Amino acid sequence: MKTYKNIYPRICCYENLYEAWHKAALGKRSSPEVAQFEYALTDNLLALEEELTEQTYQPGAYRHFHISTPKPRRISAAPFRDRVVHHALVQQIEPIFEARFCRDSYACRVGKGTHAALERCQGFARRYPFILQCDVVQFFPSIDHAILRDVLFRHIDDRQTQWLMGRILDSGAGVLRDEYDIVYFPGDDLFAALRPRGLPIGNLTSQFWANCYLNELDQLVKRELGCAAYVRYVDDFLLFGDSKSDLWRCKRAITAFLPRLRLTLHDRSSTVYPTANGIPFLGFVTYPTHRLLKRRNGLAFARRFRSQVAELAAGKITHAEVEASLCGWLAHAAHGDTWGLRRARRRHAAPAGHILNRPGPCGRQRARSSGRGNRFRFMTSPLRPTSPCAGGPFDVQYPPEDTTLSACLTTPSSDCIRATTWPSPAAMCQPARVCPPATSSSRRASRSPPATRWP
Q: H or E segment at 132? A: strand 130-135
- Of the chain, the percentage scoring pLDDT greater than 90 comes to 51
Q: What mean pLDDT, rounded, does the chain reach?
A: 79
Determine contact, residues 341/293, Cβ cutoff 8 Å: yes
Determine contact, residues 337/290, Cβ cutoff 8 Å: yes
Q: How confident is the model at residue 442 (pLDDT cuts 50, 70, 90)?
A: very low
In angstroms, the CA 359 to CA 377 distance is 15
In angstroms, the CA 163 to CA 161 distance is 5
Q: Which residues pair with 273 in a beta bridge?
A: 131
Helices 80-98, 14-25: axis angle to 10 degrees equals 110
pLDDT higher at 357 or 320: 320
Helices 339-349, 295-313: axis angle to 10 degrees equals 10
pLDDT in tens, 68-78: 877 788 899 99
Cα 431 from chain centroid (whole Å): 33
For residue 144, give every residue at least 6 positions away whose Cβ sits within 8 Å of its Cβ, in sequence order, or none: 195, 196, 197, 261, 262
Mean pLDDT over 93-105 rounds to 93
Q: What is the pLDDT of residue 175?
A: 85
Q: How many angstroms separate the most distant Cα atoms in the chain?
A: 85
b/e per residue, 122-156, with b = 16+ CB within 10 A? Answer: bebbeebebbbbbebbbbbbbbbbebbeebbbebb
Residue 100 three-state SS = coil
In angstroms, the CA 305 to CA 322 distance is 8
pLDDT in tens, 274-333: 999 999 999 999 999 999 999 888 888 888 888 888 898 888 888 888 888 888 989 999
Q: What is the DSSP string of 328-346?
A: HHHHHHTTSS-HHHHHHHH
Cα–Cα distance list, 265 to 87, 133, 224, 401, 452 (Å): 31, 10, 19, 52, 54
Give the HSE-up count for residue 328: Cα atoms under 13 Å, Cβ half-sphere.
8
Cα 391 from chain centroid (whole Å): 38
379 pLDDT higher than 70? no
pLDDT in tens, 408-431: 333 333 333 333 333 444 444 444
Determine contact, residues 197/141, Cβ cutoff 8 Å: yes
Mean pLDDT over 199-226 rounds to 93
177 pLDDT higher than 70? yes
Q: What is the pLDDT of residue 350?
A: 62
Long-range contacts of 30-36 (CB under 8 A, 24+ apart): 31/80, 33/79, 33/80, 34/80
Q: What is the pLDDT of residue 351?
A: 58
446, with CB counted inside 10 A (0-12, 13-18, 19+), is buried
Q: How confident is the model at residue 454 (pLDDT cuts 50, 70, 90)?
A: very low
For residue 161, give every residue at least 6 positions away whose Cβ sits within 8 Å of its Cβ, in sequence order, or none: 7, 8, 11, 89, 92, 93
375 pLDDT higher than 50? no
191 phi and psi angles, rounded to 5 deg: -75, -5
In angstroms, the CA 38 to CA 126 distance is 50
Cα–Cα distance list, 277 to 122, 185, 235, 273, 338 (Å): 13, 35, 22, 7, 19
Q: Respond yes or no on whether the N-terminal peptide bond of residue 32 is cis (omega within 30° of 0).
A: no
Q: What is the pLDDT of residue 334?
A: 92
Helices marked H in 272-363: 295-313, 319-333, 339-349
Long-range contacts of 290-294 (CB under 8 A, 24+ apart): 290/336, 290/337, 290/373, 290/374, 290/375, 291/118, 291/122, 291/335, 291/336, 291/337, 292/336, 292/337, 292/338, 293/333, 293/336, 293/338, 293/341
Neighbouring CB atoms inside 10 A of 171's CB total 20
Mean pLDDT over 95-107 rounds to 92
In angstroms, the CA 385 to CA 118 distance is 30
pLDDT in tens, 26-49: 988 889 999 999 999 999 999 999
241 phi and psi angles, rounded to 5 deg: -160, 170
In angstroms, the CA 133 to CA 251 distance is 9
Q: How confident is the model at residue 396 (pLDDT cuts 50, 70, 90)?
A: very low
pLDDT in tens, 213-268: 999 999 999 999 999 999 999 999 999 999 999 999 999 999 999 999 999 999 88
Nearest in space to 290 (alpha carbons), one of 122, 133, 124, 131: 122
Q: What is the pLDDT of residue 352?
A: 54
Q: H or E segment at 36? A: helix 32-39
In angstroms, the CA 315 to CA 187 distance is 60
pLDDT higher at 123 or 433: 123
Mean pLDDT over 345-354 rounds to 63
Query: DSSP letter at 194?
Result: G
